[in-house]
């Protein structure tokens, strides 16, 4: 018998992947968690029926959400990742020699434990001594830490449930207070094709709070529409205006210095969305 996982981004559109084996499925305190082994994308983390990350294409998202802010800030030492329980962003953050401490604030400890067990290629850096894993609500954590982080990365699930408060508005004000005086914030901000209203709202909320706000895109096969947005809010440094020549190339599969620049070139329908 064939098994398939179906992810419905909206009521009228969905993606399906053929499943080899269900490795774990459980109801945690916050969500339905599953880790599946699929024929084409390998092992994947699924939360409340939404594909979060897969062995085959996780590198795109984790490299782009980490390296663009970390190459924009001239000397990032302390980084906070909100969400990100699979550890992929932490793995990329710790490729930067200047980083002395990377805090992961993930609300669901089961995500961390199951990803450590079944997705070691992604969660491997969670054991790094520079990484501190804090299990708790990112909203509370950010409220309780002021002027502490050079870069804050919001690597959350979609804007529903526990993650709803991580998108825009007052949370970004608190993020600004939690950042150092020249800090940079970045968030995954959904698909302009299926959720244009989310992309527009988040961009405008960030623009009202940060001196510089930019949007860039990356091509992620397992994300709805295969084309994903990231919003970056910066107190001082412009991610499009960085001298990347001073940096050594990192061990990456998607991020390059050329893609850093090119990612900010938007198609007209996305430009019009954030005008
Ligand atoms: N890194 C993956 C990717 O490539 O997109 C997915 C992101 S990670 C799995 C999303 C995490 O955000 C989930 O583990 C979820 O539990 C966590 N999360 C949701 N709301 C949160 C909150 N308020 N505070 C901290 N973590 C939260």
- Domain CATH number, residue 37: 2.30.140.10
pLDDT of residue 1: 87
| Band (206; pLDDT cuts 50, 70, 90) | very high
Beta carbon of 166 within 6 Å of any ligand 1 atom: yes
Q: Kindly report the CATH number assigned to the domain that includes residue 175.
A: 3.40.50.150
User: Any binding-site annotation on 173?
Assistant: no
155 shares a domain with 32: no
Beta bridge partners of 238: none
Greatest pairwise CA separation for the chain in angstroms:
58
Distance 47 CA to ligand 1 centre (A): 9
Query: What is the atom index within ligand 1 of the atom nearest the CA of 85?
Result: 14
Q: Is the pLDDT of residue 219 over 90?
A: yes
Q: How many domains are contained in the chain?
A: 2
Burial of 11 (0-12, 13-18, 19+ CB in 10 A): exposed
The predicted model gives 175-192 an average pLDDT of: 97
pLDDT band of residue 145 (cuts 50, 70, 90) is very high
pTM above 0.85, yes or no: yes
Q: Whose CA is nearest to atom 8 of ligand 1?
A: 84
Q: Is 272 a catalytic residue?
A: no
**Domain-ending residue, one of 17, 35, 54:** 54
E strand or H helix that includes residue 54: strand 50-54
In this model, does residue 274 exceed pLDDT 90? yes
Query: Coil, strand, or helix at residue 34?
Result: strand
Please state the atom number of ligand 1 nearest to the C-alpha of residue 61.
4
* Mean pLDDT to the nearest integer, 112-135: 98
Q: Is 158 in the pocket of ligand 1 (CB under 6 A)?
A: no
pLDDT at 176: 98
**pLDDT score recorded for residue 215:** 98
Average confidence score pLDDT of the chain: 96
Range of the domain at 170: 58-274
Cα-based distances in Å from 176 to 147, 155, 238: 8, 16, 16
CA distance 118 to 103: 22
Question: Do residues 69 and 43 share a domain?
Answer: no
Mutate to test the pocket of ligand 1, among 139, 152, 156, 219 (most ligand atoms within 8 A of CB): 156
CA dist., res. 150 & res. 69, Å (int): 10
189: closest CA among 149, 216, 162, 169?
216
**Taking residues 249-256, what's their average pLDDT?**
96
94 with 127, same domain: the answer is yes
Question: Is 110 a pocket residue for ligand 1 (Cβ < 6 Å)?
Answer: no
- Residue 133 in 3-state DSSP? strand
Q: Are residues 106 and 207 in the same domain?
A: yes
Residues 104 and 226 in one domain: yes
Q: Are residues 123 and 76 both part of a single domain?
A: yes
In tens, the pLDDT along 36-87 reads 999 999 999 999 999 999 999 999 999 999 999 999 999 999 999 999 999 9
- Report whether 31 belongs to an annotated binding site: yes
Tell whether the model's pLDDT for residue 255 goes beyond 90. Answer: yes
Indicate if 178 and 72 belong to the same structural domain.
yes
On whether both 10 and 89 belong to a single domain, the answer is no
Q: Please check whether residues 149 and 212 belong to one and the same domain.
A: yes
Cβ–ligand 1 distance for 105 under 6 Å, the answer yes
- pLDDT average, residue stretch 145-152: 98
Q: What is the pLDDT of residue 140?
A: 97
The 8-class DSSP code of residue 203 comes to H
Is the per-residue pLDDT at 162 higher than 90? no
Q: Are residues 135 and 198 in the same domain?
A: yes
Q: Which of 37, 54, 71 is the last residue of a domain?
A: 54
Do 16 and 108 belong to one domain? Answer: no
The pLDDT of residue 160: 80
Query: What is the pLDDT, as a whole number, of residue 159?
Result: 81
The pLDDT confidence band at residue 28, using thresholds 50, 70 and 90, is: very high
Dist. CA 248 → ligand 1 center (Å): 30
Q: Are residues 159 and 268 in the same domain?
A: yes
Unique residue bearing structure tokens 């205006």: 241
- Per-residue pLDDT, 168: 76
């Amino acid at each position: 018998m064939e098994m398939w996982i179906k992810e419905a981004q909206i009521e009228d559109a969905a993606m399906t992947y053929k499943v080899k084996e269900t490795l774990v499925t459980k109801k945690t305190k916050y969500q339905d968690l599953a880790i599946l082994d699929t024929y084409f994308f390998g092992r994947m983390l699924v939360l409340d029926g939404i594909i979060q990350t897969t062995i085959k294409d996780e590198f795109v998202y984790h490299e782009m959400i980490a390296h663009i802010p970390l190459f924009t800030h001239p000397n990032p030492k302390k980084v906070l990742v909100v969400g990100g329980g699979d550890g992929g962003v932490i793995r990329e953050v710790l490729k930067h020699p200047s980083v002395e401490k990377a805090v992961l604030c993930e609300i669901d400890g089961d995500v961390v434990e199951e990803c450590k067990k079944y997705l070691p290629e992604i969660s491997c850096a969670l054991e790094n001594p520079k990484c501190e894993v804090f299990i708790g609500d990112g909203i509370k954590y950010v409220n309780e830490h002021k002027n502490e982080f050079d870069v804050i990365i919001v690597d959350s699930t979609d804007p529903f449930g526990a993650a709803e408060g991580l998108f825009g508005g007052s949370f970004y004000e608190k993020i600004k207070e939690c950042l150092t005086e020249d800090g940079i914030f970045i968030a995954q901000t959904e698909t302009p094709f299926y959720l244009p209203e989310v992309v527009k709202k988040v961009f405008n909320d960030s623009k009202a709070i940060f001196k510089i706000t930019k949007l860039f895109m990356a091509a992620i096969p397992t994300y709805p529409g295969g084309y994903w947005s990231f919003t970056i809010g910066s107190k001082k440094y412009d991610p499009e205006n960085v001298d990347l020549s001073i940096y050594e190339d990192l061990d990456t599969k998607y991020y390059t210095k050329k893609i850093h620049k090119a990612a900010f070139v938007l198609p007209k329908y996305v430009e019009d969305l954030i005008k």
